[in-house]
Amino acid sequence: MRVLFVGDSMTIGAPGAHTWRYRMWQHLTRTVPDGGWSIVGPRTALHGGGDGYADPRFPPHARAHLADWGAGWLHMAPAVEEAVAAHGADTLLVSLGLIDLGFYTDPEQTLENVELFLTRARAADPALRAVLLPVLPNIRAVTDAGFAASCAHFNTLLAKVVAERSEPRSPLLLASAPEDWSPRRDTYDGTHPSAEGEHRMAAAFAEALHQAWGVGGPYRAGTP
């Protein structure tokens, strides 16, 4: 299994962060100890180009990703085919959409970019599998009812396209959003995950992988 993390600022992380990618590395190290997996991708840096991860024991080879600050489905759809082909990724863990809805596209337009992303990813590997996380609302959704409705509507559309586009040779999963996600508890600034939020995001992906494909085991916070 060659895992590619795809995401926006919630995934790339800022200097001093652990990132949910780190939490997933911990989880896979703990639950899939036979070495039958690796983390791949074209980038390793945090936002700003640095490598100041909170835990220096996070090995450079496990820091790989395809994520960027301010990125959305709009930006990753043109980039995913090359990343998958160049790095041999066969399993995508994707957290995107909040930026699209907040700045670039409405739910229907965002869904078009999801479709394009899936098409291009499968062009690189027709047997690719992917786990997609619903949009986790940020603090804006707490105070802006219209934006909250937009996020909810997109998540409904996303669930539909995941079900329709999943294939036996290229399965797609919609992860369950962390229950009662709270921008005040699960983020440090209303958008970006706190340590609690990182664990909850990683757990969503870990549980999907375990329950659907038998990868790893139940998620628990901790160190390998």
pLDDT (tens digit per residue) in 156-215: 999 999 999 999 999 999 999 999 999 999 999 999 999 999 999 999 999 999 999 999
Instruction: Give the integer Cα–Cα distance in Å for 197 and 114.
Output: 24
Torsion sign, CA atoms 181, 184, 185, 186: positive
Return phi, psi of residue 214, to 5°: 70, 25
**Structural domain includes residue 91:** yes
> Distance (Å, rounded) from C-alpha 107 to C-alpha 12?
23
**pLDDT value at 223 more than 70:** no
Expressed as residue numbers, the domain containing 77 is 2-213
For the chain, give the mean pLDDT: 96
Q: Is the pLDDT of residue 17 over 60?
A: yes
Mean pLDDT to the nearest integer, 145-155: 98
DSSP category for residue 193 = B
Angle at CA of residue 56, ends 50 and 59, nearest 5°: 90
Residue 222 covered by a domain: no
164 in a domain, yes or no?
A: yes
Identify the pLDDT of residue 34. Answer: 82
Q: Is residue 78 part of a domain?
A: yes
Compute the average pLDDT of residues 37-66: 96
Q: Is the Cα torsion angle 201, 174, 44, 31 positive or negative in sign?
A: positive
Residue 218 lies in a domain: no
Q: Is the pTM of this model over 0.95?
A: yes
Q: Give yes or no for a contact between 114 and 122, defined as CB atoms under 8 angstroms apart.
A: no
Residue 221 lies in a domain: no
| pLDDT for the residue numbered 157 | 98
Q: How far apart are CA 51 and CA 111, in angstroms?
A: 33
Residues 9-37, mean pLDDT to the nearest whole number: 95
Q: What's the confidence (pLDDT) of residue 139? A: 96
Token couple for 188: 């440090």
Domain count for the chain = 1
Judge whether 168 lies within some domain. yes
Residue 41 lies in a domain: yes
Q: What are the Cα distances from residue 86, in Å, to 49, 83, 197?
A: 21, 5, 31
Residue with tokens 């999963």, as numbered in its chain:
173
Domain harbouring 48, CATH code: 3.40.50.1110
At 224 the pLDDT is 44
